[in-house]
Amino acid sequence: MEEPSDAGDEAPGEREVSRRDIVRAALAGSAGLCVPSFLDLNAARTMAQTLQTAQVPGRPITFEDVTERAEGSARQPYRPPADDLPPELASLSYDGFQAIRVRPEATVPLGSRFSLQPFHRGGLHARRVEIFFQAPGQAPRPFGYDPGLFDLGPSLQGRTYPPALGYAGFRIAHGFDAARPGEQEEFLVFLGASYFRVRGRGQIYGLSARGVAVNTGLPQGEEFPDFTTFWIEEPRGDAASITILALLDGPSLTGAYRFSVTPGDPSAIVVEAALFPRRAITALGLAPLTSMFLHGENGPGARGAEPFDDFRPRVHDSDGLLVQTPGDRLWRPLVNGRAAPQISSFRAAPLEGFGLMQRERHFSVFLDVQARHEDRPGLWVAPRGEGFGAGSVRLFEIPSRTEATDNIVAAFVPEAPVAPGRPLRLAYSLITVGAEPVPAIAPPLARVVSTRVGSAERLRPTNPPSPQRRLYAIDFEGPGLPDDPRAAIEVALSASAGAFVEPYTERVPQTGGWRLYAEFRPPEPWPAGDVVLRTRLSHAGRVLTETWDAVA
């Protein structure tokens, strides 16, 4: 059951915007970030050596080791990272940040098919992360900062920094073609808080994933825990997968993560996590996804929203939320242009999967040669093992007028209270999605491919005219739909307020799909919050399609 509610203070969204802005800036270039230092070189080197060797055992670090550290840290008060970024790095401009490049010879090979490049600290990427490599059966080796790895660009030419500066994150490249392992393409980035991005072969970066989300959209403000340490396991030979361990730390919780990454078409990440709350958390978002939706096929989407004066018909990294539970799969088109942020909740007990999708895959509907929105991945979250338990998938939509804003967040929020002394353990897979259908999303129901809304007066005029009447045209495509245009299609149609009248279906011979037309007559007066609309199609007693769910 969906339960729309006001999202409250917009400040959390504003912080999301700044993070996305810098992540995009970093990914736009071919290298990391860099900056100068005011610390005494010898003192800084001593500090860095202490940091890098204090917790290095004589064997590889395991997920169990990281879990033990996270659990121990949760019993201690949170200590914010030191604010030690030199002023010239902290104030680094966008252009200065973009000018920093990793030198090609500084690329670190990982087996024969992977390689790594670090990101320099600077600008909003003030937090230091520690990076270790560990070969099979060997102790972890610290990856110490070296200013010689970077070309700092003209504004920082001649600068140098001590080993204590550290890195902001890293990117990993892969040779997708096993016959040409040296031809590697970047496909995975960890940069900023607990954010990371992954893409499949032939795709470009779009939405982000996160390790965890804390109190997204709530009045007390969102919290952004940080991945503070990474241990990267070096693959053997030409292995097609790579494993990354990570330690998470934040005011409200700590965590241990294992990412088993297999790039390809699709790319897949198996995530195992152990979370240890320091204090009660009102809304803990598991497997969170963050994306951008500016405008789409039905304009801004929200009732009364200001239209966009844009030569591009659509601008979005994702166009809908997909939620699967036993016996149903629900599609919610994304909406922009509300007067205030909004949270919608979709109960899932148990959850079989959810994801933010980019279903539109044609250049002709985006018309952006550089952004290539049609090539951006969706991400599908599928719980593993015992699953996530009872809870709901929450969709957080922030009004936005700029495509630099990550204004969409989706995450699973457990029903059980999150409190100190009650650790959470979970496992799930993250799978990149391109054109559907895909094996990861089953069963093979026909899917919603478009939602268009316009005045019902155009096709069904009344005298006198009733401009508040709206006509919905919803297209379904995919397996199982009848080829016979005379097939008796059964329509299940509902509205939480107001009413649908005179639904009509017809086969679309141009696509092989089916279209539903339904006139919506709004309530008078409008109730507070959203009016939720739903429909799905059946034939001969068998459900044919996923459930379309939208707000009027």
Phi and psi angles of residue 221, each rounded to the nearest 5 degrees, phi first: 95, 145
Mean pLDDT of the chain: 88
Q: What is the pLDDT at residue 50?
A: 36
- Does a structural domain hold residue 438? no
User: Where does the pLDDT of residue 55 fall: very low under 50, low under 70, confident under 90, or very high at 90 and above?
Assistant: low
Tokens of 302: 């929200």
Residue 356: strand pairing partners: 321, 379
Alpha-helical regions (H) of 233-292: none
Q: What is the pLDDT of residue 243?
A: 98
181 has pLDDT over 60: yes
Same-domain check for residues 542 and 422: no
User: What are the tokens at 308?
Assistant: 């966009």
pLDDT tens string 521-551: 999 998 988 899 999 999 999 999 999 999 9
Q: What is the pLDDT of residue 463?
A: 84
Indicate if 462 and 413 belong to the same structural domain: no
Least confident piece of the model among 55-69, 203-217, 426-440, 533-547: 55-69
Q: What is the pLDDT of residue 380?
A: 98
Structure token pair of residue 274: 């152990």
Q: What CATH number does residue 507 fall under?
A: 2.60.40.10
Q: Does 409 fall in a domain?
A: yes
Other Cβ atoms closer than 10 A to 196: 23
Cβ contact 326:350 at 8 Å: yes
Supply the DSSP symbol for 363. Answer: G
How many domains, the chain?
A: 2
Is 326 in the same domain as 380?
yes
> Is residue 265 domain-resident?
yes
Mean of the pLDDT values across residues 466-481? 93
Token code pair at residue 114: 């992977």
Does 49 score more than 70 pLDDT? no
Rg of the chain (C-alpha set): 25
Is there a single domain that holds both residue 413 and residue 477? no
Residue from 493, 477, 322 nearest 410 by CA: 322
**Maximum CA extent, the chain:** 85
Q: Is the pLDDT of residue 2 over 50?
A: no
**What's the CA gap between 8 and 341, in Å, rounded?**
7
Output the CA torsion sign for 60, 130, 273, 287: negative
Last residue of a domain, one of 399, 433, 467: 433
Segment 70-101, tens digit of pLDDT: 999 999 999 999 888 998 898 888 788 788 89
* The residue type at 127: R
Q: Which of 120-134, 239-253, 481-495 has the lowest mean pLDDT?
A: 120-134
Report the C-alpha gap between 217 and 327 in whole angstroms: 30
Separation between Cα atoms, residue 350 and residue 392, nearest integer Å:
9
Q: Are residues 180 and 64 in the same domain?
A: yes
Asked if residue 441 belongs to a domain, the reply is: no
* Residue-level pLDDT at 56: 59
pLDDT of residue 305: 84
| Full domain range(s) for residue 298 | 5-433
Neighbours of 183 (CB within 10 A): 11
Whole-angstrom distance between the N-terminal and C-terminal Cα of the chain? Answer: 17
10 Å Cβ neighbour count for 139? 13
